[in-house]
């Protein structure tokens, strides 16, 4: 028997090694990896500058505890603050922990309990993350949830207006619901949400765990809308595979996260931070995201032209290099077909194929992926 808890449904491919957009299976096959480890390896597998930065830190120290000042934490925090327009960073090890930090901070800073989130949202698997998540399947069997999380329909202004009040600590929202099916927030909704938050003294928290670090063509997805959140959370793409998460907030919140208020043994680990700094140096550098956005334009253009007309394709949504293809049929069997033909892609909900290629994916890799999808989707129609 396997000695692992069977928490994950595993694919049939066991990776041997990986480089760039290519994953080499132990089966001797090569696969085009359009998952980036669920939006983590935004620079592809094993980008050299990140490897060099990590090796350099490995020879200095691996862990010393947060009792010491560490300039590598200051350097990473400065970059995150500069790029986001926010001020202060708390480092954690994962997305769920970043959201935990944000939720604790919001409750403490406002002295209020109610947190508004949205249906189909995903905010992680810890108790607060799970309670914040607007999908029943995530909570099944775990008993009563943390109180005072309210889930409203996404992009529905009337329900937000009716629910937000002076007892509300925060509105927590994804700019693009990633796990929930690639649903993009509307400009009107997020702008109004910002205004309603300001009017009621409510903190606006943007969960950028999947959309951040360049995934949508800007450093953070909220920047497409000219809004100013109070807190954002990041994780996945920040360390390109080294575990790290962060909650980034406005300076006015600093007094509520004083010594002893929150902490993490591994949070701010220098190996992960060395990776994160190298990642940000590349992704936030002049020109990188322009090129990546152009690749996103190419991807969406091809998806619309090659697949948009198909009967099985209901909708194509997303931004930058975060794409969802909603089908009229379940996605899983098609994803299995795609793997057989050499393309690894993700589901997002039951009927959506989600593509999260690395941000430096090559043009010919995009063309190949779309042609493999076209093939798998046309074949599917014939066999059903
Ligand atoms: C993945 C994800 C999380 C949870 O991150 P973990 O690192 O798995 O804890 C939270 N929010 C969003 C939007 C995510 O995509």
Q: Write out pLDDT tens, residues 160-192.
A: 999 999 999 999 999 999 999 999 999 999 999
Residue nearest to atom 5 of ligand 1 (CA): 95
Which tokens go with 215? Answer: 């995934």
> Is any ligand 1 atom within 6 A of the Cβ of residue 207?
yes
β-bridge partners, 171: 116, 204
Find out whether the beta carbon of 124 lies less than 6 Å from any atom of ligand 1. yes
| Structure-token pair, residue 109 | 């800073």
Who has greater pLDDT, 381 or 364? 364
Ligand 1 near 179 CB (within 6 A):
yes
Atom of ligand 1 nearest to the CA of 96: 9
pLDDT for the residue numbered 383 = 55
User: What's the pLDDT at 379?
Assistant: 85
Same domain, 224 and 310: no
Angle between helices 270-283 and 48-58 (to 10 degrees): 150
Domain tally for the chain? 2
Which residues does 355 contact at the CB level (< 8 Å), separation at least 6?
34, 299, 321, 322, 323, 324, 325, 345, 346, 369
pTM listed for this prediction? 0.98
For residue 349, tell me if it sits in a domain: no
Residue 50: predicted pLDDT: 98
Residue 147 above 80 pLDDT? yes
Judge whether 162 lies within some domain. Answer: yes
Q: With CA atoms as reference, report the closest residue to 278 among 33, 102, 56, 64.
A: 56
Residue 96, ligand 1, Cβ within 6 A: yes
Same domain, 59 and 100: yes
**Residue 365 CB less than 6 A away from ligand 1:** no
CB 169 within 8 A of CB 106: yes
**210 in a labelled binding site:** yes
Same domain, 207 and 72: yes
Q: Is pLDDT above 70 for 358?
A: yes
**352 closest CA partner among 310, 376, 323:** 323
Instruction: Looking at the structure, tell me whether residues 242 and 177 fall in a common domain.
Output: yes
Within this chain, do residues 108 and 226 fall inside the same structural domain, yes or no? yes
What per-residue confidence (pLDDT) applies to 380? 78
Atom of ligand 1 nearest to the CA of 174: 13
pLDDT of residue 217: 98
One domain, residues 84 and 173: yes
* Contact yes or no for 208/234 (Cβ under 8 A): yes
Query: Which residues span the domain enclosing 197?
Result: 48-283
Residue 124 alpha carbon, nearest atom of ligand 1? 4
Domain closes at, from 230, 265, 283: 283
Q: Is the pLDDT of residue 232 over 60?
A: yes
Q: How far is the CA of 19 from the centre of ligand 1 (A)?
A: 24
Is position 315 annotated in a ligand binding site? no
Say how many Å lie between the CA of residue 96 and the centre of ligand 1: 6
Q: How confident is the model at residue 315 (pLDDT cuts 50, 70, 90)?
A: very high
Report residue 360's pLDDT band, with 50, 70 and 90 as the boundaries.
very high
- Does 264 carry a binding-site annotation? yes
Please give the pLDDT value at position 122.
98
Q: What are the angstrom distances between the C-alpha of 338 and each of 37, 195, 242, 342, 374?
A: 16, 44, 28, 6, 10
Same domain for 145 and 81: yes
Looking at the fold, whether 70 and 204 belong to one and the same domain comes out as yes
Q: Kindly state if the Cβ of 208 falls inside 6 Å of ligand 1.
A: no
Residue 382's pLDDT band (cuts 50, 70, 90): low
Task: Give per-residue pLDDT as tens, 59-75.
Answer: 999 999 999 999 999 99
| 95 appears as a binding residue in the annotation | yes
Tell me, yes or no, whether 71 and 217 share the same domain: yes
Using an 8 Å Cβ cutoff, are 172 and 99 in contact? yes
**Listed residues 283, 312, 342: the one ending a domain:** 283
CA 294 and chain centroid, separation: 20
CA 162 to chain centre: 29
- Average pLDDT (339-355) is 97
pLDDT of residue 381 exceeding 80, the answer is: no
In the reported structure, the alpha carbon of residue 310 is separated from the centroid of ligand 1 by a whole-number distance in angstroms of: 32
- Looking at the structure, tell me whether residues 110 and 199 fall in a common domain: yes
Is 165 inside a domain boundary?
Answer: yes
Note whether 53 and 112 are same-domain residues: yes
In a domain, 108, yes or no: yes
Is 209 annotated among the ligand-binding residues?
Answer: yes
CATH of residue 270: 3.40.640.10
Rounded average pLDDT over 272-277:
98
pLDDT at 384 over 60: no
Q: Is 286 annotated as a binding residue?
A: no
Cβ atoms within 10 A of the Cβ of 370, count? 20
Is the model's pLDDT at 234 over the cut of 60? Answer: yes
Q: What is the DSSP letter of 129?
A: H
Mean pLDDT value across residues 355-362: 98
From 133, 134, 212, 236, the mutation candidate for ligand 1 (largest count of ligand atoms within 8 A of CB) is 236
Report CA(27)–ligand 1 centroid distance (Å).
30
Q: Is 95 in the pocket of ligand 1 (CB under 6 A)?
A: yes
Query: CA-to-CA distance for 228 and 55, rounded, in angstroms?
Result: 36
Q: Are 326 and 315 in contact (CB under 8 A)?
A: yes
311 and 213 share a domain?
Answer: no
Taking only the tens place, the pLDDT of each residue in 97-111 is: 999 999 999 999 999
Q: Is 153 a member of any domain?
A: yes
Determine whether the shortest distance from the Cβ of 121 to ligand 1 is under 6 A: no
Beta partners for residue 316, in sequence order: 325
Which of 253, 268, 283 is a domain's end point? 283
DSSP code, position 88: E
């Amino acid at each position: 028997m396997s000695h692992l808890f069977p928490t994950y449904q595993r694919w049939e491919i066991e990776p041997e090694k990986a480089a760039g957009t290519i994953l080499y299976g132990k089966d001797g096959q090569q696969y085009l990896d359009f998952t980036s480890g669920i939006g983590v390896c935004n620079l592809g597998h094993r980008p050299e500058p990140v490897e060099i930065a990590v090796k350099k830190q490995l020879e200095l120290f691996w862990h010393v505890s947060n009792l010491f000042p560490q300039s590598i934490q200051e350097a990473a925090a400065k970059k995150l603050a500069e790029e986001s327009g926010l001020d202060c960073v708390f480092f954690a090890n994962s997305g769920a922990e970043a959201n935990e930090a944000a939720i604790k901070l919001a409750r403490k800073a406002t002295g209020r309990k109610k947190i508004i989130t949205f249906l189909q949202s995903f905010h992680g698997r810890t108790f607060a993350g799970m309670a914040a998540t607007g999908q029943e399947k995530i909570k099944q069997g775990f008993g009563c949830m943390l109180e005072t999380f309210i889930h409203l329909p996404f992009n529905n202004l009337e329900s937000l207006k009716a629910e937000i009040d002076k007892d509300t600590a925060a509105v927590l929202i994804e700019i693009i619901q990633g796990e929930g099916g690639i649903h993009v927030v509307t400009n009107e909704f997020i702008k109004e949400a910002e205004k309603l938050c300001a009017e009621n003294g409510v903190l606006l928290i943007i969960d950028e765990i999947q959309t951040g670090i360049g995934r949508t063509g800007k450093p953070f997805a909220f920047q497409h809308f000219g809004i100013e959140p109070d807190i954002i959370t990041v994780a996945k793409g920040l360390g390109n595979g080294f575990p790290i998460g962060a909650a980034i907030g406005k300076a006015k919140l600093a007094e509520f996260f004083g010594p002893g208020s929150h902490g993490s043994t591994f949070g701010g680990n220098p190996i992960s931070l060395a990776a994160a700094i190298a990642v940000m140096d590349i992704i936030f550098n002049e020109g990188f995201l322009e090129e990546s956005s152009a690749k996103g334009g190419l991807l969406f253009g091809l998806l619309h032209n090659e697949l948009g007309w198909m009967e099985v394709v209901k909708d194509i949504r997303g931004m930058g290099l975060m794409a969802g293809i909603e089908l009229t049929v379940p996605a899983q069997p098609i994803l299995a077909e795609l793997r057989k033909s050499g393309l690894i892609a993700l589901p997002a909900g039951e009927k959506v194929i989600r593509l999260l290629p690395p941000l430096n994916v090559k043009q010919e890799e995009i063309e190949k992926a779309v042609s493999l999808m076209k093939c798998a989707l046309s074949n599917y129609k014939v066999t059903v």
